[in-house]
Every structure is written in C-alpha cells, then in structure tokens.
C-alpha cells in the first residue's frame, strides 16, 4: 500500500500516474495533504478522502473529483477550469477568491461552502444540493439563473444581525 505522502508526491510530480498508483487500494485517505500551488490537468480522483486538504493557489484544468470527500478543503485563489465535483461532499469547502469556469457540481453537497469574492461564471450548480446553505458576499459572481438551483437566491444580504452575539451589540470602546 502506498503512503499518503507518496501519493501526494505522485499527484505533484507525476499526476498522470496517480490512477495506476491507487488501483486496487480501496478507500484512499489523502486528508490534510497540502497540494497548494500546483498545476493539474486531466486527472480523475474517484472516491478519495481529501478532508481538510489544500489546493490553494493552484491551477486545475479538467480535474474530476468524483464521489470525493472535500469537506473543509481549501481552494482559495485557485483557478478551476472545466472541473467536475460530481456526487462529492463539499461541506465547509473554501472557494474564496477562486475562479471556477465551466465546472460541474451535479449532486454535490454544497452545505457550508464559502464563495467570498468567487467567480462562478458558467459553472453548473443547477443540480447541486444545499447551495442555499453556502456563504457568499456581494463580490461573488454567480452564473446565469439556468445554471443555479430553482430555489436559490444569489442576492447578497448584509443582514447578519441574527448571527451577532448580544455582547457585541452592547460593547463599547470604553469597556476595554
């Protein structure tokens, strides 16, 4: 069995060999692995646990994350072009300041995703799940409405009063 560190090195140095390296290994755990600042193209990750890993500052083209656990993965400042997140778990995944062009989120669980200042132009989120439970800001660029779930409202509202602690409302600079 190949170690987590060896698999990460294969992804970084020889991504085309990754699928052969994991063939027959069953469930693959690549949680908490740093894959930041890399360039990947034409790689398929199938049923991989990337929980709490990082792809920050990377460039991914035609990378497929099929049935993957991407919980709390860091994709900040990443450029993703024609990537697929089909049937993956993206709970708490951070796409802040990222550009996602023509990405597919079919049956992806988006609860808790963070899309602050994210460009989602032409990405297909229409068949994603729990997109209404994501965080975004006024700088988030959403795709056209036909690429969003019918029940999703991409209009940013700054009304976060329900999230503030009572202490915050009553504190003053004099109290420090």
pLDDT tens over the chain, length 176 residues: 678 999 999 999 999 899 888 888 888 999 999 999 999 999 999 999 999 999 999 999 999 999 999 999 999 999 999 999 999 999 999 999 999 999 999 999 999 999 999 999 999 999 999 999 999 999 999 999 999 998 787 776 554 444 555 554 554 555 44
Is 13 inside any structural domain?
no
Is 12 inside any structural domain?
no
Is 17 inside any structural domain?
no
Read off the CATH number of the domain in which 137 is found.
2.160.20.80
Note the Cα 112 to chain centre separation in Å.
10
CB neighbour burial string for 117-126, b if at least 16 within 10 angstroms, e if fewer: bbbbeebbbb
Whether the CB-CB separation of 16 and 40 falls below 8 Å is answered with no
Distances (CA, A) of 3 to 10, 30, 53, 60, 85: 11, 9, 16, 23, 24
Query: What distance in Å separates the CA atoms of residue 76 and residue 68, rounded to the nearest whole number?
Result: 18
Kindly report the number of other CB atoms within 10 A of residue 28's CB atom: 20
Helix (H) or strand (E) holding 41: strand 39-41
Region for residue 175 given its phi and psi (left: phi exceeds 0; alpha: psi -120 to 50; beta: otherwise): alpha
Query: What distance in Å separates the CA atoms of residue 31 and residue 167, rounded to the nearest whole number?
Result: 37
pLDDT at 2: 76
Helix (H) or strand (E) holding 29: strand 28-29
Is 152 inside any structural domain?
yes
Q: For the chain, what is the domain count?
A: 1
Structural domain for 107, as ranges? 27-175
CB neighbour burial string for 47-82, b if at least 16 within 10 angstroms, e if fewer: ebbbbebbbbbbbbeebbbeebbbbbbbbbbbbbeb
pLDDT at 162: 46
């Amino acid at each position: 069995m190949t170690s987590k560190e060896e698999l990460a090195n294969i992804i970084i140095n020889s991504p085309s060999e990754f699928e052969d390296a994991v063939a027959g290994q069953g469930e693959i755990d690549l949680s908490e692995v740093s894959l930041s600042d890399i360039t990947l193209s034409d790689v398929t990750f199938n049923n991989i646990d990337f929980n709490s890993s990082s792809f920050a500052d990377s460039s991914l083209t035609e990378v497929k994350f099929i049935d993957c656990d991407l919980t709390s993965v860091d994709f900040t400042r990443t450029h993703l072009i024609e990537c697929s997140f089909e049937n993956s778990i993206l709970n708490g995944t951070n796409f802040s300041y990222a550009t996602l062009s023509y990405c597919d989120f079919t049956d992806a669980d988006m609860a808790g995703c963070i899309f602050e200042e994210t460009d989602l132009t032409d990405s297909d989120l229409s068949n994603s799940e729990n997109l209404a439970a994501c965080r975004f800001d006024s700088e988030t660029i959403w795709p056209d409405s036909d690429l969003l779930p019918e029940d999703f409202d991409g209009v940013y509202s700054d009304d976060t009063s329900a999230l503030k602690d009572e202490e915050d409302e009553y504190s003053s600079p004099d109290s420090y």
